[in-house]
Structure 1
Amino acid sequence: MTTRRARRIGIAGAGFSGAVIARQLAEAGHDVVVFEARDHVAGNCHTERDPATGVMIHRYGPHIFHTADERVWSYVNRFGAMVAFNHRVRTTVQGRVYLLPVNLLTINQLFGTTLGPDEARALIAREADSSIGEPQNFEEQALKFMGRRLYEAFFLGYTRKQWGLAPSEIPAAVLKRLPLRFTYEDSYFNHPHQAIPRDGYTAVVAAILDHPGIEVRLSTPYTEADRADFDHSVWSGPLDAWFSHRYGRLGYRTLDFEEIRAEGDHLGCAVMNYGDLEVPYTRIAEHKHFAPWEEHAETVCFRETSRLAGEGDTPYYPIRLAQDKSLLGRYVDAARVEPDVTFVGRLGTYRYLDMDVTIGEALTAADGILHAFEHGTAVPSLFVDA
């Protein structure tokens, strides 16, 4: 048996997850209301023109779109002009500037050598700690693959600041692959599509939400009382918040931003990391360099400092340490049996997601919701393993 009646859908969050699902459901003929607690769309990808300089500001920190997913790439290009952007990062440690990710130039700079690729591989093999068997934490993982000098220069201080923990307390899985390149390639990402929207991310998300079947309610959180007005809910807020933190609070990191204004350039690049533990912030981003096709006489930068998110803070990324994974399991079990709601996005599934993955999973979730509506079956609460 199938049912084709139009459904009424309530979506919490006007970031990429909520917007993409809203658009897909609206294009299929359903009535969608998007609730957004902030006074703007696009979530943490929100961009806006600085009124004093005209610089396009990434209000919640830099976002660079990169993907190998052709469906996602085609999708975002429907809603905004994507301009090629090759992201390059520098880091200041021990009074010198180096390239990131660690590449052949970085290695030669640090060791004071002029090695070729094979020679550099041999050097790192000698530096690596072969006494470590199966790494039990981030620090052991780093020492096993790159040795102490590279680890202490580029990962120890930055990691402590970013996570608020000693690397020996962080799971080895956080360092997913050896972050070394034995060439002079310094592009931060290696995906075939790398770009930034010419008019900013907020314009893209606003275009996605621009459909007669979608109503957007800004400065309006989605509440339990609202749920009764809809056939189905989509939740992109924190997973534990949906359940009113009944088992306890999942851990998130947040960011504090300190503004810097100046004439001309301040950094000379888009992002400068600071690896020394004595420097309290993790990086400075100079936002006009994220739009090199524009020219601005003045500049706006932001220093970023990471800390544990409190109750009133904006959560940026999940911590996912051992205690969080145990608590997460309880919330995932509760989510899987929660009727008439789908959990999506970085916060709704408690995972660190890049923008392209967020959009791809939102498209998959929308496909699944529409399939369930079409066939009269229950909509799965999670389309991924959180």
Structure 2
Amino acid sequence: MAQKSLLMVGAGLSGAVIGRHLAEAGHKVHIVDARDHIAGNCHMYRDAETGVNVHAYGPHIFHTDDEEVWAYVNAHEVFLPFKNRVKTTSQGRVYSLPVNLHTINQFFGETLRPDEAKAFIETKADTSITDPQTFEDQALRFVGRDLYDAFFRGYTLKQWGCDPTELPASILKRLPLRFNYDDNYFNHRHQGMPQNGYTAMVESILNHPGITVSLNTRFSRDQAKDYDHVFYSGPLDGWFDYELGRLGYRTLDFERFTYEGDYQGCAVMNYGDEEVPYTRITEHKHFAPWESHAKSVLYREFSRECGPDDIPYYPIRLVNEKAMLGGYVERAKWEKGVTFVGRLATYRYLDMDVTIREALDCARLAEKAFAEGGVMPAFTVNPL
């Protein structure tokens, strides 16, 4: 097998996982990233003032049912147990999320059993809505006006920057209720946090003699000619110099503050009231309960429309964006020598475990294609 010269654009999970696999297969891998650090939006750093290991771009909690992916991350970092137990402040009171039996009983001043709670909520639900089309329709049909106003409307309006009546019902994909006292935010079998952080994990993945990494290095398309193949995890519209326009994203602003002691007693506190400008406060020492810190570092999160110079977080994927995305996907299929990978290049919201799964699958396909003289497709997962 002839050694290929490969370029990974982006030193996040996609570029690191694909790069490591192909380096182990004997290829020469060069990874570039415009930022001054590896690990993309999973990047963590040790805060000098408090000693807390901070999630620089907002908290990332690892959860998966994928056994291979769980084994993969544990091979590169020790994962310790962590359950995400989110709280929310609404109308001057604190409740647990997702909305569960405790939340329902507390909110309505009841002591309902699971079957009683189901029947009770059904009396609150708007059963006249038989085919929910909007986020608001979906919420009113399943939880009713009281719970919707307290826990969903204000938060959603702040997070997405538009009225819930303008968002599709699909955003609220599943019934946002639990009729038991389970306040674990995720349902996956494996849940945890890396003992030394995600940056340490990615550093381990990149630790291979066949990999070189260049930070503070912006990619331009004319560099592609110097390599046999490019794996691009940057913005899909950016590859085409935004010829069809910019795909819509929400971005986050973080307001850092410190506190002597424990500020809120939990890792994540949402704020459901519309008049509170931020969506949540994250207290980062609680994401590593095995550590002990006298001081605390916290971030208030503010969601807004993403501008050209902002970091894109959440793809909007409404009607106009989907039409534009279709145009970019068609253009991408005509490109030679490049495969588009990861959340930005496929314009999808991806959890970390899914990102790693798709990267492993892509890398194996590439290994086979390079060995057999085949051609890699523009996408190994359909963005549409």
Shared topology, TM-score over 0.5? yes
1:260 Cα deviation after fit: 1.3
Could you tell me which residue of structure 1 aligns to residue 347 of structure 2?
Answer: 350
SS at match of 1:262: strand
Of 373-382 and 201-210, more deviation after overlay is shown by 373-382
- Distance (Å, rounded) in 2 between the aligned partners of 1:76 and 1:111: 42
Secondary structure of residue in 2 paired with 1:121: helix
| Matching residue within 56, 63, 76 for 1:66 | 63
1:186-201 matches, within 5 Å, as 186-201=183-198
Matched residue, 1:130:
127
**Does the alignment pair 1:176 with 2:173?**
yes
Contact 1:317 1:346 in 2 (8 A): no
SS at match of 1:147: helix
Alignment partners' CA distance in 1, 2:331 and 2:368: 23
SS in 2 for 1:250: coil
Identify which of 265, 275, 280 aligns with 1:283. 280
Q: Report the equivalent of 1:25.
A: 22
Aligned residue identity for 2:240: F
Give the distance between the partners of 1:381 and 1:302, measured in 2 at CA.
Answer: 38
Unaligned segments of structure 1, at least 5 residues: none
Q: Distance in 2 between matches of 1:207 and 1:221?
A: 23
3-state SS of paired residue (1:269): coil
SS in 1 for 2:226: coil
Residue 219 of structure 1 corresponds to 216
**1:336, CA displacement in angstroms?**
2.0
CA shift, 1:24, in A, is 0.5
Give the equivalent residue in structure 2 for 1:112: 109
Q: Note if contact 1:33-1:216 (Cα within 8 Å) is conserved in structure 2.
A: yes
Match of residue 311, structure 1, among 297, 308, 314: 308
Whole-angstrom CA distance in 1 between matches of 2:257 and 2:49:
13
| Match for residue 96 of structure 2 among 94, 99, 103 | 99
Over the residues paired in the alignment, what is the CA RMSD in angstroms?
A: 0.7
Partner of 1:16: 13
Letter of the structure 1 residue corresponding to residue 324 of structure 2:
L
Matches of 1:30 and 1:222 in 2, distance apart?
20
Q: Percent identity?
A: 61
**Aligned counterparts, 1:224-303, within 5 A:** 224-303=221-300
SS of 1:158's partner is helix
Secondary structure of the 1:18 match is helix
Measured after TM superposition, the shift of residue 377 of structure 1 is 1.3
Counterpart pick for 2:363 among 359, 363, 366? 366
**Structure 2 regions of 5+ residues with no counterpart?**
none
Q: Which moved more, 1:265-274 or 1:368-377?
A: 368-377
Letter in 2 for 1:197: P
What CA deviation, in whole Å up to 9, does each residue of 1:348-375 have, x standing for no partner?
A: 1000000000000000110111111122
Q: Provide the aligned length of Structure 1 versus Structure 2.
A: 383
Is the 1:317–1:347 contact (alpha carbons within 8 Å) kept by the matching residues of 2? no
TM-score computed with the length of structure 1 as normaliser: 0.98
Q: C-alpha distance in 1, partners of 2:176/2:218?
A: 40
Moved over 6 A (4+): none
Distance in structure 1 (CA, Å) of the matches to 2:224 and 2:330: 21
